[in-house]
Amino acid sequence: MVRFVMLVPLLIAVIVGGFFLWGLDPDRDPSSIPSVLIAQPAPEFALEPVDGVAVPGFSRADLIGNSGAVVVNVFASWCVPCRAEHAVLTSFVERDGIRLFGINYKDKPKDAAAWLKKMGNPYELIGSDISGRAGIEWGISGVPETFIVGADGTVLFRYVGAVVGKDAIARFSEALAQAGALNEGAS
C-alpha cells in the first residue's frame, strides 16, 4: 500500500507529461479562437457607399455568385495597424489579382475618404459601417480583421489582426491559395 502511494506522484507526472507532449504539436495555436462563421454563409448586411469615395457600397448580395473566392477586409482610418496592412493588401490586389471588398468600420466618411485618397484605394467595393452593426454581424473582435469568402458566399477563413509580417502573410497566402482566390494568371 505504502509503495503504491509513493508511486502516485510519478503516475500523475506521467499523465501530465502526456498532455504536454500532445500540446507541443506545432500546428496547435492556443491563442487562435475558431470563428463560428467558418463554413457558414456570410451574414446578412447591406452598407451604403462611403461619401466621397468613388466605389459603390457593399452588401451580402455582392458575395454570392462571384467567379471565385473574394476577400473581405474590415478597416478604419483611425486604426494604426490598418495603415501597415493597407500596403500588404494592395500588393495582394496588384500582384495576385485578388478581389478585395472593404467594410469601413465606425469611421467618419470624410476621414475614410481622405485616408483612401492618401494611401490609395485597393477596394472594389466599400460599405460604410458607421453604426458598427455589420461588424457585429461578422463577429469581429477588433479592427482590422480579414475574411475569405467562397464563390457561393460561404465564409472560408478568418484572420484576426493585421496581415503584417512574414508569418502572417505566409498564413494568409496559403489560405488564399486553398480558397482559390489567387488569380494564377496574374502572378
Partner 1 sequence: MIPEIGHFALALALALALIQSVVPMLGASRGNILWMRSARASALGQLFFVTLAFAALMRSFVISDFSVRNVVENSHTLKPMLFKIAGTWGSHEGSLLLWVLILTIFGAGVSIFGTNIPHTFKARTLSVQAWISVGFLSFMLLTSNPFERVFPPALDGDGLNPLLQDVGLALHPPFLYFGYVGFSIVFSFAVAALIEGRIDAAWARWVRPWTLAAWMSLTAGIALGSWWAYYELGWGGWWFWDPVENVSFMPWLLGTALLHSAIVTEKRDAFKSWTILLAILTFSLSLLGTFVVRSGLLTSVHAFAVDPERGLYILMLLTLSIGGSLALFAWRAPMMEAGGLFKPISREAGLLVNNLILAAATGSVLFGTLYPLFLEAITGAKISVGPPFFNAAFIPMMLPLVFVMGLGPFLSWKRADLMGIIQRLKVVAGLAVLATLALWYVTRGGPVLAYLTILLAIWLFFTTLREWAMRIRLFEAPFAESMRRMRHLPRAAHGMTLAHAGVALAMFGFVGSSAFKAEEIVFVKPGAEIAIAGFDLTFEGVQQIRGPNYIADRGVLTVRRNGDFVTVLYPERRGYLVAQSQTTESAIRSTIVGNLFASIGTPAAEDAKDSGAWTLRILYQPLVNFIWFGAGLLILGGGLSLSDRRLRVGAPRRAKQQQRASPVPGE
The residues that touch partner 1, with contacts defined as CB under 8 A, are 2-3, 6-7, 9-10, 13-14, 16-17, 19-26, 30-31, 33-34, 76-78, 106-108, 111
- Sheet order of strands, 70-75 included: 125-129, 100-105, 70-75, 145-149, 155-160
The kind and range of the H/E element at 148 are: strand 145-149
Output 20 or 67, the one with its CB closest to partner 1: 20
Phi then psi for residue 158, to 5 deg, are: -135, 135
Output 6 or 184, the one with its CB closest to partner 1: 6
User: What long-range pairs does 116-122 form, CB within 8 A, spacing at least 24?
Assistant: 116/53, 119/83, 119/86, 120/86, 120/90, 121/53, 121/54, 121/55, 122/86, 122/89, 122/90, 122/92, 122/93, 122/94
Closest approach, Cβ 104 to partner 1, in A, equals 12
Closest approach, Cβ 127 to partner 1, in A, equals 17
Closest approach, Cβ 4 to partner 1, in A, equals 9
Closest approach, Cβ 126 to partner 1, in A, equals 17
Output 60 or 108, the one with its CB closest to partner 1: 108
Residue 133 CA neighbour count, 13 Å, CB half: 10
Output 76 or 149, the one with its CB closest to partner 1: 76
Residue 128 DSSP code: E
Closest approach, Cβ 19 to partner 1, in A, equals 5
Output 25 or 184, the one with its CB closest to partner 1: 25
